[in-house]
A and B are shown apart, each in its own frame.
Chain A
Protein backbone atom coordinates (compact mmCIF):
# COMPACT_ATOMS: atom_id res chain seq x y z
CA UNK A 1 0.00 0.00 0.00
CA UNK A 2 1.37 3.39 -1.02
CA UNK A 3 2.21 5.81 1.75
CA UNK A 4 0.48 9.20 1.63
CA UNK A 5 2.86 11.96 2.64
CA UNK A 6 1.71 14.16 5.51
CA UNK A 7 3.09 17.23 3.79
CA UNK A 8 2.90 18.75 0.38
CA UNK A 9 6.15 19.11 -1.56
CA UNK A 10 7.52 22.43 -2.77
CA UNK A 11 7.99 23.51 -6.37
CA UNK A 12 11.71 23.76 -7.24
CA UNK A 13 11.27 26.15 -10.16
CA UNK A 14 12.63 29.68 -10.30
CA UNK A 15 10.92 32.59 -11.97
CA UNK A 16 11.53 34.62 -15.05
CA UNK A 17 13.62 37.74 -14.80
CA UNK A 18 12.53 40.32 -17.32
CA UNK A 19 14.82 43.00 -18.64
CA UNK A 20 13.38 46.45 -18.17
CA UNK A 21 14.67 49.98 -18.41
CA UNK A 22 17.00 50.61 -15.52
CA UNK A 23 17.65 46.99 -14.71
CA UNK A 24 16.03 43.61 -14.42
CA UNK A 25 12.74 43.06 -12.71
CA UNK A 26 10.61 40.04 -12.10
CA UNK A 27 7.28 40.15 -13.82
CA UNK A 28 5.41 39.07 -16.90
CA UNK A 29 7.46 38.70 -20.04
CA UNK A 30 6.41 40.58 -23.14
CA UNK A 31 7.41 39.35 -26.56
CA UNK A 32 6.94 41.36 -29.74
CA UNK A 33 5.81 40.00 -33.07
CA UNK A 34 8.44 38.84 -35.55
CA UNK A 35 9.48 41.45 -38.14
CA UNK A 36 7.02 41.76 -41.06
CA UNK A 37 7.99 39.91 -44.22
CA UNK A 38 8.61 41.46 -47.62
CA UNK A 39 6.52 40.44 -50.64
CA UNK A 40 9.61 40.13 -52.80
CA UNK A 41 13.38 40.31 -52.47
CA UNK A 42 13.74 41.99 -55.87
CA UNK A 43 16.07 44.95 -55.54
CA UNK A 44 17.02 43.99 -51.98
CA UNK A 45 20.35 42.83 -50.60
CA UNK A 46 20.38 39.75 -48.37
CA UNK A 47 23.47 39.30 -46.21
CA UNK A 48 24.43 35.76 -45.23
CA UNK A 49 26.97 35.52 -42.44
CA UNK A 50 29.43 32.63 -42.14
CA UNK A 51 29.42 31.95 -38.40
CA UNK A 52 32.19 29.41 -38.69
CA UNK A 53 30.11 26.40 -37.70
CA UNK A 54 30.76 23.18 -39.57
CA UNK A 55 29.24 23.19 -43.06
CA UNK A 56 28.46 26.90 -43.19
CA UNK A 57 31.20 27.48 -45.78
CA UNK A 58 29.68 24.80 -48.00
CA UNK A 59 26.27 26.43 -47.61
CA UNK A 60 27.69 29.76 -48.76
CA UNK A 61 29.41 28.07 -51.71
CA UNK A 62 26.09 26.55 -52.72
CA UNK A 63 24.36 29.90 -52.34
CA UNK A 64 26.81 31.52 -54.72
CA UNK A 65 26.38 28.90 -57.42
Chain B
Protein backbone atom coordinates (compact mmCIF):
# COMPACT_ATOMS: atom_id res chain seq x y z
CA UNK B 1 0.00 0.00 0.00
CA UNK B 2 2.90 2.32 0.73
CA UNK B 3 3.98 1.94 -2.91
CA UNK B 4 0.55 3.13 -4.06
CA UNK B 5 0.74 6.18 -1.80
CA UNK B 6 4.26 6.93 -3.00
CA UNK B 7 3.28 6.73 -6.67
CA UNK B 8 0.33 9.06 -6.11
CA UNK B 9 2.35 11.69 -4.28
CA UNK B 10 5.73 11.62 -6.04
CA UNK B 11 6.14 14.56 -8.43
CA UNK B 12 6.00 13.68 -12.13
CA UNK B 13 9.23 13.36 -14.06
CA UNK B 14 9.93 15.83 -16.84
CA UNK B 15 9.08 13.13 -19.38
CA UNK B 16 5.70 12.46 -17.78
CA UNK B 17 4.92 16.20 -17.86
CA UNK B 18 5.82 16.58 -21.50
CA UNK B 19 3.05 17.01 -24.00
CA UNK B 20 4.24 14.95 -26.89
CA UNK B 21 3.50 14.76 -30.56
CA UNK B 22 4.07 11.38 -32.15
CA UNK B 23 4.73 11.50 -35.88
CA UNK B 24 2.22 9.82 -38.16
CA UNK B 25 4.71 8.16 -40.43
CA UNK B 26 5.69 4.63 -39.46
CA UNK B 27 8.92 4.95 -41.40
CA UNK B 28 10.21 5.17 -44.95
CA UNK B 29 8.10 3.88 -47.81
CA UNK B 30 10.77 1.41 -48.80
CA UNK B 31 14.10 -0.13 -47.82
CA UNK B 32 17.15 -0.88 -49.97
CA UNK B 33 18.13 -1.85 -52.57
CA UNK B 34 20.29 -4.31 -50.67
CA UNK B 35 21.10 -7.99 -50.64
CA UNK B 36 18.31 -10.43 -49.88
CA UNK B 37 20.21 -11.57 -46.78
CA UNK B 38 20.55 -8.03 -45.43
CA UNK B 39 16.91 -7.22 -46.12
CA UNK B 40 15.74 -10.39 -44.37
CA UNK B 41 17.88 -9.37 -41.40
CA UNK B 42 16.55 -5.80 -41.50
CA UNK B 43 12.92 -6.94 -41.41
CA UNK B 44 13.70 -9.37 -38.60
CA UNK B 45 15.52 -6.74 -36.53
CA UNK B 46 12.69 -4.27 -36.99
CA UNK B 47 10.24 -6.82 -35.61
CA UNK B 48 8.35 -6.96 -38.90
CA UNK B 49 8.32 -10.76 -39.20
CA UNK B 50 7.21 -13.85 -37.29
CA UNK B 51 10.91 -14.80 -37.20
CA UNK B 52 10.47 -17.19 -40.10
CA UNK B 53 11.93 -16.17 -43.47
CA UNK B 54 9.66 -13.91 -45.48
CA UNK B 55 9.16 -13.38 -49.18
CA UNK B 56 10.75 -9.97 -49.71
CA UNK B 57 8.08 -7.48 -50.82
CA UNK B 58 9.70 -6.15 -53.95
CA UNK B 59 7.79 -3.64 -56.07
CA UNK B 60 7.04 -6.16 -58.81
CA UNK B 61 5.72 -8.75 -56.35
CA UNK B 62 3.51 -6.16 -54.65
CA UNK B 63 2.28 -4.95 -58.05
CA UNK B 64 1.32 -8.52 -58.98
CA UNK B 65 -0.62 -8.81 -55.72
CA UNK B 66 -2.39 -5.49 -56.36
CA UNK B 67 -3.56 -6.72 -59.77
CA UNK B 68 -5.70 -9.33 -58.00
CA UNK B 69 -8.19 -6.73 -56.77
CA UNK B 70 -10.20 -4.00 -58.46
CA UNK B 71 -9.59 -1.69 -55.50
CA UNK B 72 -7.10 1.15 -55.78
CA UNK B 73 -3.74 0.78 -53.99
CA UNK B 74 -4.23 3.86 -51.82
CA UNK B 75 -7.74 2.98 -50.65
CA UNK B 76 -7.97 2.59 -46.87
CA UNK B 77 -9.01 -0.99 -46.09
CA UNK B 78 -9.47 -0.82 -42.35
CA UNK B 79 -7.88 -0.26 -38.99
CA UNK B 80 -6.50 -2.42 -36.19
CA UNK B 81 -5.61 -1.78 -32.57
CA UNK B 82 -3.75 -4.26 -30.31
CA UNK B 83 -6.72 -3.77 -27.96
CA UNK B 84 -9.39 -1.27 -29.00
CA UNK B 85 -9.92 1.38 -26.35
CA UNK B 86 -6.48 0.81 -24.87
CA UNK B 87 -4.20 1.39 -27.85
CA UNK B 88 -4.70 3.71 -30.77
CA UNK B 89 -5.76 2.28 -34.11
CA UNK B 90 -3.43 2.00 -37.03
CA UNK B 91 -4.92 2.15 -40.51
CA UNK B 92 -3.70 0.57 -43.71
CA UNK B 93 -4.19 0.78 -47.43
CA UNK B 94 -4.71 -1.90 -50.07
CA UNK B 95 -1.01 -1.55 -50.92
CA UNK B 96 0.10 -2.12 -47.32
CA UNK B 97 -2.10 -5.21 -47.08
CA UNK B 98 -0.51 -6.39 -50.32
CA UNK B 99 3.00 -5.92 -48.91
CA UNK B 100 2.15 -8.14 -45.95
CA UNK B 101 0.44 -10.69 -48.20
CA UNK B 102 3.61 -10.93 -50.30
CA UNK B 103 5.74 -11.33 -47.16
CA UNK B 104 3.51 -14.22 -46.06
CA UNK B 105 4.11 -15.98 -49.37
CA UNK B 106 0.50 -15.66 -50.54
CA UNK B 107 -0.46 -16.19 -54.15
CA UNK B 108 -2.18 -13.11 -55.66
CA UNK B 109 -5.38 -15.11 -56.15
CA UNK B 110 -5.72 -15.29 -52.36
CA UNK B 111 -5.59 -11.50 -52.07
CA UNK B 112 -9.38 -10.80 -51.94
CA UNK B 113 -9.60 -13.16 -48.94
CA UNK B 114 -6.75 -11.37 -47.18
CA UNK B 115 -8.32 -7.97 -47.93
CA UNK B 116 -11.64 -9.17 -46.49
CA UNK B 117 -9.85 -10.28 -43.32
CA UNK B 118 -8.11 -6.89 -43.17
CA UNK B 119 -11.46 -5.12 -43.59
CA UNK B 120 -12.79 -6.83 -40.45
CA UNK B 121 -10.81 -4.32 -38.31
CA UNK B 122 -9.86 -7.12 -35.91
CA UNK B 123 -6.40 -7.77 -34.54
CA UNK B 124 -4.99 -11.27 -34.66
CA UNK B 125 -2.46 -10.47 -31.93
CA UNK B 126 -4.24 -9.04 -28.92
CA UNK B 127 -2.19 -7.18 -26.32
CA UNK B 128 -3.98 -9.14 -23.59
CA UNK B 129 -1.89 -11.20 -21.20
CA UNK B 130 -4.39 -13.99 -21.93
CA UNK B 131 -2.51 -15.02 -25.11
CA UNK B 132 -5.57 -15.04 -27.33
CA UNK B 133 -5.90 -16.90 -30.62
CA UNK B 134 -7.84 -15.90 -33.72
CA UNK B 135 -9.74 -18.04 -36.19
CA UNK B 136 -10.84 -17.28 -39.75
CA UNK B 137 -13.78 -19.26 -41.10
CA UNK B 138 -14.04 -19.24 -44.88
CA UNK B 139 -17.21 -20.07 -46.79
CA UNK B 140 -18.37 -20.00 -50.39
CA UNK B 141 -16.94 -20.69 -53.86
CA UNK B 142 -13.59 -19.03 -53.09
CA UNK B 143 -12.63 -22.17 -51.13
CA UNK B 144 -12.38 -24.27 -54.28
CA UNK B 145 -11.22 -21.40 -56.49
CA UNK B 146 -8.00 -21.00 -54.50
CA UNK B 147 -7.52 -24.55 -53.23
CA UNK B 148 -8.29 -24.16 -49.54
CA UNK B 149 -8.10 -27.45 -47.68
CA UNK B 150 -11.25 -28.60 -45.91
CA UNK B 151 -10.51 -32.32 -46.04
CA UNK B 152 -7.91 -34.40 -44.20
CA UNK B 153 -5.93 -32.18 -41.81
CA UNK B 154 -8.09 -29.14 -42.55
CA UNK B 155 -6.70 -27.11 -39.66
CA UNK B 156 -3.10 -28.20 -40.23
CA UNK B 157 -0.26 -26.95 -42.44
CA UNK B 158 -1.29 -28.91 -45.53
CA UNK B 159 -2.37 -26.24 -47.99
CA UNK B 160 -0.55 -23.26 -49.44
CA UNK B 161 -3.75 -21.19 -49.33
CA UNK B 162 -4.65 -21.99 -45.70
CA UNK B 163 -1.08 -21.48 -44.52
CA UNK B 164 -0.28 -18.20 -46.24
CA UNK B 165 -3.68 -16.55 -45.74
CA UNK B 166 -3.41 -17.26 -42.03
CA UNK B 167 0.17 -16.03 -41.88
CA UNK B 168 -0.71 -12.85 -43.77
CA UNK B 169 -3.27 -12.05 -41.05
CA UNK B 170 -0.58 -12.22 -38.38
CA UNK B 171 1.92 -10.15 -40.38
CA UNK B 172 -0.78 -7.59 -41.14
CA UNK B 173 -1.61 -7.24 -37.45
CA UNK B 174 2.06 -7.03 -36.57
CA UNK B 175 3.03 -4.42 -39.14
CA UNK B 176 -0.07 -2.56 -40.23
CA UNK B 177 -1.84 -2.74 -36.85
CA UNK B 178 1.13 -2.16 -34.49
CA UNK B 179 0.34 -5.43 -32.67
CA UNK B 180 2.75 -7.99 -31.29
CA UNK B 181 5.42 -5.61 -29.99
CA UNK B 182 6.48 -7.67 -26.99
CA UNK B 183 6.42 -5.63 -23.80
CA UNK B 184 4.60 -2.76 -25.48
CA UNK B 185 1.60 -3.97 -27.45
CA UNK B 186 1.86 -7.69 -26.66
CA UNK B 187 1.78 -9.06 -23.12
CA UNK B 188 0.60 -12.68 -23.50
CA UNK B 189 1.95 -14.58 -20.50
CA UNK B 190 2.40 -17.94 -22.25
CA UNK B 191 1.90 -16.95 -25.89
CA UNK B 192 -0.16 -18.92 -28.36
CA UNK B 193 1.22 -21.16 -31.14
CA UNK B 194 -1.91 -20.46 -33.20
CA UNK B 195 -0.63 -16.92 -33.66
CA UNK B 196 1.87 -18.05 -36.32
CA UNK B 197 -0.81 -18.59 -38.94
CA UNK B 198 -4.04 -18.36 -36.96
CA UNK B 199 -6.74 -21.05 -37.12
CA UNK B 200 -7.96 -21.11 -40.71
CA UNK B 201 -11.19 -23.08 -41.05
CA UNK B 202 -12.55 -23.54 -44.56
CA UNK B 203 -15.86 -25.26 -43.96
CA UNK B 204 -16.55 -28.59 -45.66
CA UNK B 205 -19.86 -27.37 -47.05
CA UNK B 206 -20.26 -30.29 -49.44
CA UNK B 207 -20.31 -32.91 -46.69
CA UNK B 208 -21.88 -30.87 -43.90
CA UNK B 209 -25.49 -31.75 -43.10
CA UNK B 210 -26.19 -28.12 -42.23
CA UNK B 211 -26.10 -24.71 -43.86
CA UNK B 212 -22.68 -23.09 -44.13
CA UNK B 213 -21.80 -20.77 -41.25
CA UNK B 214 -21.99 -17.71 -43.54
CA UNK B 215 -25.50 -18.65 -44.69
CA UNK B 216 -26.57 -18.99 -41.06
CA UNK B 217 -25.49 -15.35 -40.74
CA UNK B 218 -27.43 -13.97 -43.70
CA UNK B 219 -25.12 -14.44 -46.67
CA UNK B 220 -26.11 -16.30 -49.82
CA UNK B 221 -24.63 -19.75 -50.55
CA UNK B 222 -22.83 -18.44 -53.64
CA UNK B 223 -21.20 -15.58 -51.72
CA UNK B 224 -17.64 -15.98 -50.51
CA UNK B 225 -17.23 -14.80 -46.93
CA UNK B 226 -14.68 -14.69 -44.12
CA UNK B 227 -15.82 -14.79 -40.50
CA UNK B 228 -13.52 -13.90 -37.63
CA UNK B 229 -13.50 -15.65 -34.25
CA UNK B 230 -11.45 -14.77 -31.16
CA UNK B 231 -10.73 -16.64 -27.97
CA UNK B 232 -8.47 -19.27 -26.47
CA UNK B 233 -8.15 -21.57 -29.48
CA UNK B 234 -9.40 -25.11 -30.14
CA UNK B 235 -8.24 -28.54 -29.06
CA UNK B 236 -9.37 -32.12 -29.57
CA UNK B 237 -12.49 -33.12 -27.68
CA UNK B 238 -10.56 -36.20 -26.56
CA UNK B 239 -8.89 -33.80 -24.11
CA UNK B 240 -12.14 -33.66 -22.16
CA UNK B 241 -13.33 -36.17 -19.59
CA UNK B 242 -16.75 -35.83 -21.23
CA UNK B 243 -15.67 -37.12 -24.66
CA UNK B 244 -15.90 -40.82 -23.96
CA UNK B 245 -16.35 -43.35 -26.72
CA UNK B 246 -19.16 -45.74 -26.00
CA UNK B 247 -21.31 -48.24 -27.77
CA UNK B 248 -24.06 -45.69 -28.25
CA UNK B 249 -22.43 -42.36 -28.99
CA UNK B 250 -24.35 -39.27 -27.96
CA UNK B 251 -22.37 -36.42 -29.45
CA UNK B 252 -24.94 -33.74 -28.65
CA UNK B 253 -24.79 -34.63 -24.95
CA UNK B 254 -20.99 -34.72 -25.10
CA UNK B 255 -21.03 -31.25 -26.61
CA UNK B 256 -23.34 -30.00 -23.90
CA UNK B 257 -21.28 -31.52 -21.11
CA UNK B 258 -18.08 -30.00 -22.45
CA UNK B 259 -19.57 -26.56 -23.09
CA UNK B 260 -21.12 -26.48 -19.61
CA UNK B 261 -17.67 -27.08 -18.17
CA UNK B 262 -16.07 -24.18 -20.04
CA UNK B 263 -15.32 -20.60 -19.11
CA UNK B 264 -18.16 -18.29 -20.16
CA UNK B 265 -16.10 -15.40 -21.52
CA UNK B 266 -15.99 -16.56 -25.14
CA UNK B 267 -18.77 -19.13 -25.16
CA UNK B 268 -18.21 -22.38 -27.00
CA UNK B 269 -17.26 -23.35 -30.53
CA UNK B 270 -17.22 -26.89 -31.88
CA UNK B 271 -15.39 -27.90 -35.03
CA UNK B 272 -17.03 -31.14 -36.10
CA UNK B 273 -15.95 -33.57 -38.78
CA UNK B 274 -18.73 -34.23 -41.31
CA UNK B 275 -19.19 -37.72 -39.85
CA UNK B 276 -19.72 -36.38 -36.32
CA UNK B 277 -22.04 -33.70 -37.69
CA UNK B 278 -24.08 -36.42 -39.42
CA UNK B 279 -24.40 -38.29 -36.12
CA UNK B 280 -25.60 -35.12 -34.39
CA UNK B 281 -28.09 -34.43 -37.16
CA UNK B 282 -29.43 -37.98 -36.84
CA UNK B 283 -29.92 -37.36 -33.13
CA UNK B 284 -32.66 -34.91 -34.14
CA UNK B 285 -30.88 -31.66 -34.89
CA UNK B 286 -31.53 -31.02 -38.55
CA UNK B 287 -30.52 -27.36 -38.20
CA UNK B 288 -27.65 -25.77 -36.31
CA UNK B 289 -30.15 -23.45 -34.64
CA UNK B 290 -32.03 -26.39 -33.12
CA UNK B 291 -28.76 -27.75 -31.83
CA UNK B 292 -27.47 -24.50 -30.34
CA UNK B 293 -30.85 -23.77 -28.74
CA UNK B 294 -30.77 -27.18 -27.06
CA UNK B 295 -27.13 -26.83 -26.07
CA UNK B 296 -27.93 -23.46 -24.52
CA UNK B 297 -30.89 -24.72 -22.50
CA UNK B 298 -32.46 -28.13 -22.78
CA UNK B 299 -36.01 -28.79 -21.54
CA UNK B 300 -36.03 -28.92 -17.76
CA UNK B 301 -32.61 -27.32 -17.44
CA UNK B 302 -32.99 -24.62 -14.81
CA UNK B 303 -30.22 -22.20 -15.61
CA UNK B 304 -28.27 -21.90 -18.86
CA UNK B 305 -24.51 -22.00 -18.56
CA UNK B 306 -23.86 -19.41 -21.26
CA UNK B 307 -25.46 -16.00 -21.62
CA UNK B 308 -27.26 -16.67 -24.92
CA UNK B 309 -27.51 -19.30 -27.68
CA UNK B 310 -25.44 -16.96 -29.86
CA UNK B 311 -22.46 -17.80 -27.66
CA UNK B 312 -22.47 -21.30 -29.13
CA UNK B 313 -21.19 -21.87 -32.67
CA UNK B 314 -20.88 -25.06 -34.69
CA UNK B 315 -18.51 -25.44 -37.65
CA UNK B 316 -17.95 -28.42 -39.93
CA UNK B 317 -14.67 -29.27 -41.64
CA UNK B 318 -12.14 -32.01 -42.12
CA UNK B 319 -12.47 -35.62 -43.19
CA UNK B 320 -14.64 -38.48 -41.99
CA UNK B 321 -12.09 -41.26 -41.45
CA UNK B 322 -12.77 -41.24 -37.72
CA UNK B 323 -15.09 -39.63 -35.17
CA UNK B 324 -12.90 -36.83 -33.89
CA UNK B 325 -13.83 -33.23 -33.31
CA UNK B 326 -12.44 -30.11 -31.68
CA UNK B 327 -13.86 -27.64 -29.24
CA UNK B 328 -12.77 -24.40 -27.70
CA UNK B 329 -13.75 -21.12 -26.12
CA UNK B 330 -14.01 -18.78 -29.09
CA UNK B 331 -16.59 -16.18 -29.95
CA UNK B 332 -17.82 -15.05 -33.34
CA UNK B 333 -16.79 -11.45 -34.06
CA UNK B 334 -17.95 -10.53 -37.58
CA UNK B 335 -18.19 -11.58 -41.22
CA UNK B 336 -16.94 -9.74 -44.31
CA UNK B 337 -17.70 -10.42 -47.98
CA UNK B 338 -14.71 -11.60 -49.99
CA UNK B 339 -16.47 -10.77 -53.25
CA UNK B 340 -16.45 -7.06 -52.45
CA UNK B 341 -12.66 -7.19 -52.43
CA UNK B 342 -12.20 -8.98 -55.73
- Which residues of A pack against B, CB within 8 Å? 2-19, 24, 26-34, 36-41, 46, 48, 62-63
Contacts and interface: CB of A to CB of B under 8 A. Distances in A.
Contact of B58 (A2, A5, A19): A5
Interface of B: 1, 4-5, 8-12, 16-39, 48, 56-60, 62, 79-80, 88-92, 95-96, 99-100, 103, 171, 175-178
A34 to B, nearest CB: 5
Given A2-B35, A3-B36, A4-B35, A31 B59 contact: no
A29 B22 contact: yes
Given A5-B58, A10-B62, A37-B11, A15 B92 contact: yes
Contacts of A37: 8-12
Contact of A34 (B12, B80, B99, B178): B12
A63 B9 contact: no
Nearest to A39: B9
Given A8-B33, A14-B90, A29 B24 contact: yes
Given A4-B35, A6-B33, A13 B20 contact: no
A59 to B, nearest CB: 9
B341 to A, nearest CB: 17
B88 A18 contact: yes
B103 A12 contact: yes
A31 B24 contact: no
A55 to B, nearest CB: 13
Contacts, number: 150
A27 B89 CA distance: 12
B88 A14 contact: no
B95 A5 contact: no
A57 to B, nearest CB: 15
A56 to B, nearest CB: 13
A33 B21 contact: no
Given A12-B176, A26-B91, A34-B12, 8 more contacts: A5-B58, A7-B32, A7-B59, A9-B57, A11-B30, A15-B24, A28-B21, A38-B8
Nearest to A5: B33
Contacts of B1: 62-63
Nearest to B22: A29
B24 A34 contact: no
Nearest to A48: B4
B16 A15 contact: no
A9 B88 contact: no
B27 A14 contact: no
A5 B43 CA distance: 15
Contacts of A13: 26-27, 48, 90, 96, 175-176
B230 to A, nearest CB: 19
B206 to A, nearest CB: 36
Given A6-B33, A8-B31, A9-B31, A14 B96 contact: yes
B31 A11 contact: yes
A65 B23 CA distance: 47
Contacts of B16: 33-34
Nearest to B77: A14
Given A14-B91, A14-B175, A28-B21, A9 B32 contact: yes
Given A7-B33, A8-B59, A28-B23, A14 B92 contact: yes
A16 B59 contact: no
Contacts of A46: 4, 8
A19 B28 CA distance: 23
A36 B177 contact: no
Contacts of B29: 10-11
A28 to B, nearest CB: 5
Contacts of A4: 33-35
Contacts of A30: 19-22
A10 B96 CA distance: 8
